[in-house]
Amino acid sequence: MHRLLLLLLLGCTALLAACNDKPADEPTGSEIRRYTIASHRIYIDNIPEITIPVLCYLVKPDGENRWQRFHDRIEGFSYVPGTEYDVELEIIPIAEPPADASDRIFRLHRVLRQEVKVSADLPDGAVCR
């Protein structure tokens, strides 16, 4: 009786594993990365598909010294102009993104620090909006 139950359990496990419809080349898992988000944002106008300037974040990935433009939306993050943030973002790969979209989702994991201040060494053109 126990052997029959064990064989049935193993058979069900094998069947469930075989039914996994996820392609082998699909990205797996997500990762958490730390960023500093500047108190100001910046307009960019060099995106070919968009005819009007777009306001984007200025960020420093952990360990970097220079501000970088960050075009993506951050799910769960509410930006307040004039506030600098240290955050952890969950980065989730998208296996088959639309042609005009990012291949990753950025989701707020947690806010480590938020401080009302003007971020140092902002690039020309940064605006408090």
DSSP class of 44: E
Give me the chain's average pLDDT, please: 81
> Which tens digit of pLDDT belongs to each residue from 39-93?
999 998 766 666 678 899 999 999 999 999 998 999 999 999 999 999 999 999 9
Long-range contacts of 18-26 (CB under 8 A, 24+ apart): 23/95, 26/95
Confidence of residue 25 (pLDDT cuts 50, 70, 90): very low
Q: What average pLDDT does range 95-108 have in this prediction?
A: 86
The model's pTM? 0.73
Mean local confidence (pLDDT), 19-37:
69
Q: What percent of the chain has pLDDT over 70?
A: 74
Domain ranges, ordered by start, for the chain:
31-127
Sign of the CA dihedral 114, 64, 54, 117?
A: positive
